[in-house]
Amino acid sequence: MGLLYKQLLKQIARCKIFVVLLLLLTMLTSLSFFFVIFSIDGNMDILNTLPDLTENQQLYRNALKTNTTLAYAFFVSLAGLTAFVFVMFFYRFYRSNRKQIGCIKSLGFKDSALRTCFIAFVTVLSIAGAVLGLIGGYFLSSVLINANTRTYSVTGLIKGVSLSNLIAGLAGSTVTFCITAFLCYSFVRGKEPGVLIAGNQNYTRFSFVLRAANKISGIIPVKNKFPLRIALRKPHAVLMIFAAAMSFCVCMILGRSLNISSQSVFDSQTLGHNYAYDTTYSEYQINPALQNAVMYLDSPVMLNIGSYDIEQIIIGLYNLNRVYELQNINGDMLPLPEKGTVYINPGLSEIYGVNVR
Amino acid sequence: MKTILKAENVTKEYGKEKVVKGISLDVYEDTFTVILGPSGSGKSTLLNILSGLIRPTAGTVQYEDTIVSSFSEAQLADWKRAEVGNVFQNYLLLNNLTAEENIKIGIPPDKPPLAIDRLTRILEIDGILDKFPAQLSGGQQQRIAIARAVIKGPRLLFCDEATGSLDETNSKKVIELLHSLKSTFGVTILFTSHNGQIAETADRVLTIKDGFLHTDMINENPISAGDIAWG
């Protein structure tokens, strides 16, 4: 059995481009799923534990539910597309290796042994692709989490996946592709070895196809007749090209419509939410009623560096809270400067070399 | 002579075309039988039916006391794996396996194989076992194919135009080796050919014409393969 596996797997490996394409597609299938799911599951769990949700949290939860549906829709669509490519691969593989498969069957190997070998190959490929997609999805989900943080003004979002979705993402695609491989074996299952070795075609069907190709090519101008006739002799290929073009168009339209709908959601969330308040006082405040208020100093100054006069603002803070925080150039939060020290705007420091002595 | 394989009223149709037309014959144990006939006469189809590679449209094939033609796919595969060897005109070696692996793939898991050293010595392929099919000549490939078919110690060996792609020297060698295998390992051989000279080495000669069994002759004085006057 080991030699059978060696022969068949090496033969499959000869179709390098197809194998790489299938690996990429299996990876993309699980990536598209985990990319979205990682940004949903953990945060949904948190939202579900909260007794009361703010308006934004409500909106965010609704968006997560919609995203879950979208994730499944993409997963199923891509799994279907990948399964279709698997079908094309096996169709081509079995056609071009009829004699070898016939020879192996003539040696007394059963269909079940050959089928198991092909399913084993698909299982390994699918699991590899699914795991790569899982890892990629984990890292890429940061993009969605950042987008959600900005869109819904919610903080503390985490990455997480539920066990059921983990199993669905890993096993769902693998099982689908294994079933596809199982069904694809029907291209050669039950075919007699003698027929496979002889390479006999179904001449009745072929002559019908040929007649149809002749008839269609007969009605078009002579200069296009020959290539069309050749193309129509392979109706499967024409059908597959049509299906591939259709799938591409569907994916493009789906992607574009998602982009437009996401923009609409973003606009609806941000429209009218840009408020401006005048929080300045004309003189120093000592009113005890304002003790709990968040106060800061904001003073325009003119910085003189050599021959340059640069307009700057000095800001004085005595407390950091949910409204005000200091960030460095990377967006990381900084602690309050200690007494007698200051932070300098990174731009000033970098462009004009301003330092404090 | 003991009958090992029996065909009764075997017919094969492809669509409306009848390729084998009601042939009945007995194959005797430990004989070298040649089936002669021009291209398209139905000899390869008959051989494939007898070896279980294709099923007859009508009629039966019986191996000793068992009706092979009514076997299920799995039973037929088991029978072929244990009792039947096939050699084809185009060798049909598995391109990703070495010569040695190509031979070993023919060994069924539940049956002790013949001694590979002895077999490869007889077939004069013991020095090329580590080579891949693409590195071998036609004659070498055909001898590997014969070794693959014989390693399991089959009771029946079916050779379909096994010398059809070989030159005179290699063809004679293959015929000689097949006779040697028959006498050494007690294999019953059926060999199709359109070359009448090969028939002179056989114990029995069947001729097929237009899908019918035309003649059935016992060759009283078979010549040795080396004496074949190649046409």
Q: What is the ipTM of this complex?
A: 0.90
Q: Using CB atoms and an 8 Å cut-off, which of residues 205-244 of chain A contact chain B?
A: none
Query: CA–CA separation, B17 vs A34, rounded Å?
Result: 57
Please report whether residue B77 resides in a domain.
Answer: yes
Q: How confident is the model at residue A206 (pLDDT cuts 50, 70, 90)?
A: low
Nearest to B54 among A103, A112, A192 (CB): A192
Residue partners of A95: CB distance under 8 A and separation at least 6: A187
Q: What phi and psi, each to the nearest 5 degrees, are found at residue B17?
A: -90, 130
Residue with the larger pLDDT of the pair A325 and A114:
A114
The domain that contains B135 carries what CATH number?
3.40.50.300
Query: CA–CA separation, B100 vs B103, rounded Å?
Result: 5
Please report whether residue B229 resides in a domain.
Answer: no
Q: Using CB atoms and an 8 Å cut-off, which of residues 8-27 of chain A contact chain B?
A: 10-11
Q: Please check whether residue A105 touches B, CB under 8 A.
A: yes
Minimum mean pLDDT among A70-74, A100-104, A277-281, B126-130: which range?
A: A277-281
Residues of B in contact with A203 (CB under 8 A): 14-15
For the question of whether the overall pTM of this predicted structure is more than 0.80, the answer is no
The helix/strand/coil state of A72 is helix
How far A29 CA lies from chain B's nearest CA (Å)?
32
Highest mean pLDDT out of A179-183, A266-270, B120-124, B196-200: A179-183
Residues of B in contact with A1 (CB under 8 A): 109
Residue of A1, A3, A196 to mutate when probing chain B, most B C-beta within 10 A: A3
Query: CA–CA separation, B185 vs A312, rounded Å?
Result: 103
- Cβ–Cβ below 8 Å for B81 and A194: no
Count of CB atoms within 10 A of residue A8's CB? Answer: 24
> Mean pLDDT throughout A273-291?
70
- Cβ–Cβ below 8 Å for A200 and B14: yes
Cβ contact B6:B61 at 8 Å: yes
Question: What value, to the nearest 5°, has the Cα angle with vertex B28 and ends B25 and B33?
Answer: 80
Query: CA–CA separation, B3 vs B177, rounded Å?
Result: 24
Please report whether residue B138 resides in a domain.
Answer: yes
Query: CA–CA separation, A83 vs A172, rounded Å?
Result: 12
Chain B interface residues (partner A, CB cutoff 8 A): 14-15, 44-45, 48, 51, 53-55, 73-74, 77-82, 84, 86, 88, 90, 92, 94-97, 101, 104-106, 108-109, 148
Q: Which of A185, A204, A9, A6 is nearest to B73 (CA)?
A: A185
Q: DSSP letters of A149-205?
A: HHHHT---------HHHHHIIIIIHHHHHHHHHHHHGGGTTT--HHHHHHT---HHH
Determine the distance from the C-alpha atom of residue B164 to the mean position of all C-alpha atoms in its chain, rounded to a whole number: 13
- What does DSSP say about strands B188-193 and B156-160: parallel, antiparallel, or unpaired? parallel
> Mean pLDDT throughout A338-357?
78
Domain span at residue B105? Answer: 3-221
Quick one: closest CA in A to B104, which residue? A3
Q: How confident is the model at residue A164 (pLDDT cuts 50, 70, 90)?
A: very high
Determine the distance from the C-alpha atom of residue B174 to the mean position of all C-alpha atoms in its chain, rounded to a whole number: 12
Nearest to A7 among B54, B81, B97 (CB): B97
Residues of A in contact with B14 (CB under 8 A): 200, 203
The DSSP symbol for A337 reads: P
Per-residue pLDDT of chain B (231 residues; tens, 9 = 90+): 789 999 999 999 988 889 999 999 999 999 999 999 998 899 999 999 999 999 999 999 999 889 998 899 899 999 999 999 999 988 899 999 999 999 999 888 888 888 888 888 888 888 899 999 999 998 899 899 999 998 988 999 999 988 888 888 888 888 888 898 888 888 999 999 988 888 889 999 999 999 999 999 998 888 887 787 765
Please report whether residue B81 resides in a domain.
Answer: yes
Residue for token pair 């094309």? A88
Per-residue buried b or exposed e for A251-262, using 16+ beta carbons within 10 Å of the residue's own CB? eeeeeeeeeeee
Residues of A in contact with B105 (CB under 8 A): 3-4, 7, 107
The whole-number pLDDT of residue A292 equals 64
Query: Is the pLDDT assigned to residue A346 strictly greater than 90?
Result: no
Please report whether residue B228 resides in a domain.
Answer: no
Q: How confident is the model at residue A201 (pLDDT cuts 50, 70, 90)?
A: low
Residue with the larger pLDDT of the pair A204 and B149:
B149
Nearest to B96 among A7, A110, A192 (CB): A7
Number of domains making up chain B: 1
The percentage of residues in chain A with a pLDDT greater than 70, rounded to a whole number, is 92
| Sign of the alpha-carbon torsion through A229, A231, A233, A235 | negative
Nearest to B108 among A7, A104, A108 (CB): A108
Please report whether residue B200 resides in a domain.
Answer: yes
Nearest to A193 among B15, B53, B78 (CB): B53
Question: What value, to the nearest 5°, has the Cα angle with vertex A198 and ends A194 and A199?
Answer: 115
Please report whether residue B24 resides in a domain.
Answer: yes
Please report whether residue B227 resides in a domain.
Answer: no
Residues of B in contact with A3 (CB under 8 A): 97, 101, 104-105
How far A95 CA lies from chain B's nearest CA (Å)?
16
Residue for token pair 């050494």? B184
